[in-house]
């Protein structure tokens, strides 16, 4: 859950006790230990930051579910359906709040226990602990995952099956370094490549128009986050 002040509540849970211990250490003249704890508290507050994002309003765009670097773009089947997968690696310095890639209804939310291998590894998509979220949109179904990593040991989703979400809406958090996967049907048009840096909720990663509208392909370019945007994704 997000609180005011640009930080999720977990930041207070982890940061304030560390800050208090640092203050106690300084009072006891354990200067080095106190400074280390203050630095650790500062890092925790930074890690759990939650900046506002400007959400694209163009019809048919799909936004990144997470901040980070695109490490995989590949063809992949999902439950027998041909499609494409984008994998995003979240380094420990990235914002770790996850956002919905499109507007729709969460029709399935499944927690899958698993390993805690390094999130950079390809095997992490299938074998690591994760939440698998299926979202039904006006264009059809897409799937995205919150995946734990070597350091990230907990995936948290603030939504439940049946919830309606807006494009770019905050949906959860993965703690301390992780991975996010996004699966789209074959007829979608991907607009990112391996190595691209993306921001959750604002970077357009694909174009997949509603079924009732034309599916004429767009030019292969990523929509600028500074053009034709409007503020959305308000805190809940």
How far apart CA 151 and CA 168 sit, in angstroms, is: 26
The DSSP call for residue 115 is: B
Q: Which fold has domain 56-210?
A: Glucose Permease (Domain IIA) (2.70.70)
Overall size of the chain counted in residues: 236
More confidently predicted of 11 and 155: 155
Q: What residue segments make up the domains of the chain, in order of their start?
A: 2-47, 56-210
Of residues 86 and 214, the one with the higher pLDDT is 86
178 part of the active site: yes
Q: Is-contact 129 155, C-beta < 8 A?
A: yes
Set 64, 87, 125, 178: catalytic member: 178
How far is 227 from 89, CA to CA, in rounded Å?
A: 26
Beta strands in the chain (DSSP E): 2-3, 7-8, 54-56, 61-63, 68-75, 83-90, 97-99, 104-112, 130-136, 141-148, 155-157, 164-165, 170-174, 178-185, 189-190, 197-198, 204-207, 229-231
Six token digits for residue 96: 């770790």
Helices H, strands E: what count in the chain? 3, 18
Q: Is a pLDDT exceeding 80 seen at residue 122?
A: no
Task: Determine which helix (DSSP H) or strand (DSSP E) holds 84, and give its type and residue range.
Answer: strand 83-90
Mean pLDDT of the chain: 82
Entry pTM: 0.77
Please determine, for residue 163, whether its predicted confidence score (pLDDT) is greater than 90.
Answer: yes
Mean pLDDT for 206-234 is: 53
The pLDDT value given to residue 45 = 83
Task: State the DSSP code for 78.
Answer: B
Q: Is residue 150 scored above 80 in pLDDT?
A: no
pLDDT digits (tens, 9 = 90+) for 19-45: 888 888 888 888 888 899 889 888 878
């Amino acid at each position: 859950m997000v609180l005011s002040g640009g930080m999720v509540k977990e930041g207070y849970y982890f940061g304030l006790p560390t800050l208090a211990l640092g203050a106690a250490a300084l009072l006891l003249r354990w200067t080095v230990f106190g400074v280390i704890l203050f630095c650790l508290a500062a890092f925790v507050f930074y890690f759990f930051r939650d900046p506002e994002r400007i959400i694209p309003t163009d019809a048919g765009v799909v936004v990144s579910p997470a901040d980070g670097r695109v490490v995989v773009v590949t063809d992949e089947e999902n439950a027998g359906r041909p499609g494409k997968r984008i994998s995003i690696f979240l380094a420990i310095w990235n914002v770790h709040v996850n956002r919905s890639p499109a507007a729709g209804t969460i029709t399935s939310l499944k927690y899958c226990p698993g390993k805690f291998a390094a999130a950079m590894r390809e095997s992490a998509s299938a074998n690591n602990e994760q939440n698998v979220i299926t979202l039904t949109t006006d264009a059809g179904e897409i799937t995205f995952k919150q995946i734990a990593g070597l350091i990230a040991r907990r995936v948290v989703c603030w939504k439940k099956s049946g919830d309606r979400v807006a494009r770019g809406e905050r949906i959860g958090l993965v703690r301390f370094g992780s991975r996010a996967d996004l699966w789209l049907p074959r007829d979608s048009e991907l607009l990112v490549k391996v190595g691209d840096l993306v921001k959750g909720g604002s970077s357009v990663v694909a174009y997949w128009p509603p079924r009732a509208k034309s599916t004429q392909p767009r030019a292969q370019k990523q929509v600028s986050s500074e053009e034709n945007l409007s503020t959305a994704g308000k805190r809940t």
